[in-house]
Structure 1
Amino acid sequence: MTKDQKDNLFLLVKSLTKSEKRQFKLYVGRLGVNADSKFLNLFNLLDKAKIYDEALIIKSGIVKKRQLANVKAHLYKQILISLKLNPSHQNVRSQIREQLDFASILYHKGLYKQGLKILDKAKELAINNEEKNMAFEIVELEKIIEAQYITRSISNRADELVVQAKEFSALNVIASKLSNLSLQLYSIMLKTGYVKNEEESRIVNTYFNKRLPKVDIKTLGFREKLWLYKAHLWYNFLMQDFLNCYKYSSKLVDLFYENPEMINLNPVFFLKGNNYLLESIFFLRNRPKFIKKLNELKATVENPKFIKDQNVSTLVFLYTNFHSINQHFIDGSFEEGLELVPTIEKDLIHYKDRIDPHHKMIFYYKFASLHFGAGNNKASIKYLDRIISNKSLSMREDLLCFSRVLNLVAHYEAGLDYHLESLLKSTYKFLIKMNDLHEVQKEMIKFIRGLQDIYPHDLKNAFKELLERLKTYEEHPYERRSFLYLDIISWLESKIENKSVGEIVKTKYLTKYAP
């Protein structure tokens, strides 16, 4: 049976770098008996294969069908052990974990003093690097050993360990509550997007305040502050309070620059913090600050001291490209933004096994929006169709909705009138099903449906009337989100003034946002 590239072992083999493959072969070759082993031969076959083909593996004679599952499992485990030993995957956490394992071994051999000495150094390393979960685990093992190593002055030592255990436990509980809250808010954001009405706003507000632990910021370390800022950040994103989003994302990024050693220890959180910061500035439409922060991020990730594994490299690709595109939406430089698209599309192929469908579709929506802004409506429709036709897609509801609304407008602009009636029906059906039919969307669909009854010489007045109706929603706390994804106001103004959307956006930017 032939499968696509979804087999876990195959994906793991294909993710290995040349140096990791070389180390794996050295690792399994350390014993001569492995030279012609089934799992090594299977590794070599998978390394050369372009797709995972089980029938081809059986046909090769490397392994019998009934043995394949066990050989694959053994190979998977050996690759992971080899990767664990690779210096590129060694970090402070693995060093602390290794010292904990060593101390445990010494304890079981009755070498208490040696075990305690190792634990003392490991605990200091854990504390200095904000690894309080492991610090707590170390203290718990110290307590066990101290209970048996009775030749030391146990009274003071016992009190010291009890105090440390309580402190670490309390901070770990705070961090856990904050990280849980942050994750739950993020989940709400992914599923439903921003709050849509007073009822949702009340629910999210109650949810947040009920679960937010009371803390004294002065007693918190790096990790606790990190989760505190992230929880506030997601709450304010949901509430569309972008000034406070900027406030907390700035605190988050500054936290890393105040503790630079934490950047390489927590590169994912560093990158996500910068992503949130740039999103906040984008929504505030402050292009000079946006460019400044984007350049700072690029300078940091391009510095040789910034350590990139495959996961980090993927995030760097996502965030630097997302925001490189976003800067062109701020000032209407759509044509310039389109120059980025071919390179990004090429790179998307390279990252295809590491980028989830959701983020891929966000790229398509951004590409579609650039083309729409530049007047390339058929090209816009092409990218939107990739989103709309994907029936198995798990993507934010708000983006799915606006993809369909933009698709309607792009079809109208492209003169594809024969598609409009069926598109209107399918869009209505989808939006009602998603419970996301907003006033802005209703006005747009009603307008496009009535276009066929408007005489050409009355068209400009119809655009003006729609513009006046939509402008009432531009500052509405729940309706304004429609304009974050689809700048209908600028499109209408372009129709009224006979200018391109890019010209309209650029003029508005220069008069309102430019320094």
Structure 2
Amino acid sequence: MRTPSNDLYELIKSLSGNEKSYIKKKSGNFSSNDKIYLKLFDAINKYGTNEKKIQSTLKIKGISKAKNYLYEIILKSLRSYYKDISVNTNLTDMLRDIEILYKKALFVQCSKLLDRAKKIAEKENKSIMLLQIFEMEYKLFINFHFKNSAEVSREREIRQLRILEEYSNTVKYSALSSKMLSFIKVHGHMRGVSAYTELTHIADDPLLKDVSNAVTEQSKSFFYNLNIVSTILLSDYEKACYYCRQKVKLIEAELSDDNSERKYALELSNLAIAETMSQQYSEAASTINKMKSILINAPSKEMKVLLFQIVSISELNLLIHAGKPDKLHALLPGIEDGLKNYKNSLNIYYKMNIHDNISKLFFMLRAFKKSLEWINPLIIEDPIQVRPDYQCLIRIFYLVIHYEMKNFELLSYLTINTYRFLKKMGGLYDFEETIITFMKRVSTMSGDSHIQEFKRLRKELISFNNNKFDKKVFEDFDYLSWVESKIENIPYPEIIRRKVAARS
């Protein structure tokens, strides 16, 4: 059960060293009666949720109220901390100060502050703020003839027009990005003619043909992001690698704070996926090591949680596609610790991805019971919170696990449930119907008849694998290799490794 003690402890535990120092510095403004809250802060930081230790150290009455008050103090201090480091907030405050100085007719001071604000806005590419600054400069120019040469006036006009052009360019890329996000939310993985048409319409936009069309840093970021997403969704992983590497270079040139570190980690994650899917396994391993080096020095809990998730997913994904499930045992203890330690901070999609990948690796090891244990929590997860396409693919793989466990009586029941679920979620494509029909047939047949059914299924899967509308499902799990392993009586990972060797 959640309690104020747990919430307060988790909040304090999540604080970085700089945040803790700032909060203690702010405590200098506390009244003498409030100093007890600083002692409570130190006690919880030291003893965690050990109530007896905290009580014996502080000996205060009404500790529950004190904890609630301390919780509010910390959040208030954090608001102040992030206000101090926010460029937008600083510029907004400066513009208010400029307006005040203007109204008080302190025009020289007003002009000096305008110059400072302009330098910050130009450095941080704050277009809207710059337009407000230019407007204020114009007021000074008209009314009080500051910097009143025609040359300066013309220069300001040119810069305003350029800023408007740059802002318009950024807005156009932002609108494209919104279209792509809407597409992913509705369709997830690209499936079917309608989704393919919608995706290619976005991907073929003239703005995405050449990076020179992007005239601001933000537009360039949108340009690469959109091309990365579209090439991954269209399974063009060679191009995805190119765009990912260009985006990584762009971010490496401006690494300076936690936010850019976060962007850097996420782009490395995209690059690792693209390299894995294009069979560049050594490059993917190198990219994952870069993410690990960031994790070691992660400055905040948020970054540690993010990096734990994307590193785990990238490593597990690499093992699956390289056909090396035996390496799971070395990774699993650390992943289990992370899932436990960060359980209240995990992104639901990342958590499901980790469970799904571990389930597939245990499947490859023929540890079907463990595979089922890892995927079971995903079956009961609220489908509203997760992309429908992901939920549908998980349920198809769920049937495959039960087939391997020879749960044929249960399998007959599960095929009906899965069919209904997929139909309700809009995920009942020809591929899914084919797998469900196969499972329904073999669940009532003797084992001797299964090979013929697998041979029939193989022909159908080859057709799907060659279809640009359905091939994406084979990236989630290589159903064709699994079927071939049953026909040839060869371990599934061996089929994967054989195909990897043939491609290299």
1:281 aligns with one of 275, 281, 302: 275
Kept in 1: contact 2:415–2:436 (CA 8 A): yes
Distance change (3 Å), C-alpha of 1:131 and 1:401: same
Answering whether residue 422 of structure 2 is matched by residue 397 of structure 1, we say no
Distance change (3 Å), C-alpha of 1:11 and 1:251: same
Distance change (3 Å), C-alpha of 1:434 and 1:141: same
1:411 aligns with one of 385, 402, 410: 402
Distance change (3 Å), C-alpha of 1:170 and 1:263: farther
Kept in 2: contact 1:181–1:212 (CA 8 A): no
Answering whether residue 324 of structure 2 is matched by residue 337 of structure 1, we say no
- 1:256-267 equivalences in 2 (<5 Å): 256-257=251-252, 259-261=253-255, 266-267=260-261
Answering whether residue 171 of structure 2 is matched by residue 176 of structure 1, we say yes
Kept in 2: contact 1:193–1:396 (CA 8 A): yes
2:155 aligns with one of 153, 157, 160: 160
> Which residue identity lines up with residue 152 of structure 1 in the other structure?
K
Counterpart-to-counterpart distance in 1, 2:136 and 2:286: 48
Counterpart-to-counterpart distance in 2, 1:91 and 1:13: 22
Counterpart-to-counterpart distance in 1, 2:143 and 2:72: 41
Kept in 2: contact 1:197–1:478 (CA 8 A): yes
> Which residue identity lines up with residue 354 of structure 1 in the other structure?
S
SS in 2 for 1:194: coil
Unaligned stretches of 5+ in structure 1? none
SS in 2 for 1:35: helix
TM-score with structure 2 setting the length: 0.84
Counterpart-to-counterpart distance in 1, 2:455 and 2:209: 51
Unaligned stretches of 5+ in structure 2? none
Residue 404 of structure 1 deviates from its aligned partner by 0.9
> Which residue identity lines up with residue 484 of structure 2 in the other structure?
E
Residue of structure 2 equivalent to 1:204: 199
Counterpart-to-counterpart distance in 2, 1:6 and 1:182: 41
- 1:24-423 equivalences in 2 (<5 Å): 24-33=23-32, 35-36=34-35, 50=49, 61=62, 76-82=75-81, 84=83, 90=85, 103=98, 106-107=101-102, 109-206=104-201, 217=212, 220-257=215-252, 259-261=253-255, 266-299=260-293, 301=294, 308-391=299-382, 394-423=385-414
Residue 399 of structure 1 deviates from its aligned partner by 1.6
Moved more, 216-225 or 358-367: 216-225
- 1:463-502 equivalences in 2 (<5 Å): 463-502=454-493
Kept in 2: contact 1:252–1:273 (CA 8 A): yes
> Which residue identity lines up with residue 293 of structure 1 in the other structure?
T
State the Cα deviation string for residues 290-325 of structure 1 (Å, max 9, x = none): 2343344545x2686xx7444333332222221111
> Which residue identity lines up with residue 20 of structure 1 in the other structure?
E
What's the C-alpha RMSD, in Å, of the aligned pairs? Answer: 3.8
Residue 151 of structure 1 deviates from its aligned partner by 4.2
Residue 24 of structure 1 deviates from its aligned partner by 1.3
> How many positions carry a matched residue from both structures?
496
Residue 41 of structure 1 deviates from its aligned partner by 8.4
Distance change (3 Å), C-alpha of 1:60 and 1:168: farther
State the Cα deviation string for residues 131-153 of structure 1 (Å, max 9, x = none): 44444444344334444442432
TM-score with structure 1 setting the length: 0.83
SS in 2 for 1:478: coil
> Which residue identity lines up with residue 290 of structure 1 in the other structure?
A
> Which residue identity lines up with residue 163 of structure 1 in the other structure?
I
Distance change (3 Å), C-alpha of 1:49 and 1:213: same
Moved more, 334-343 or 448-457: 448-457
Counterpart-to-counterpart distance in 2, 1:477 and 1:397: 20
Answer 1 or 2: which has greater helix percent. 2
Counterpart-to-counterpart distance in 1, 2:317 and 2:413: 32
SS in 1 for 2:465: coil
Answering whether residue 491 of structure 2 is matched by residue 511 of structure 1, we say no
Distance change (3 Å), C-alpha of 1:155 and 1:5: farther
Distance change (3 Å), C-alpha of 1:496 and 1:208: closer
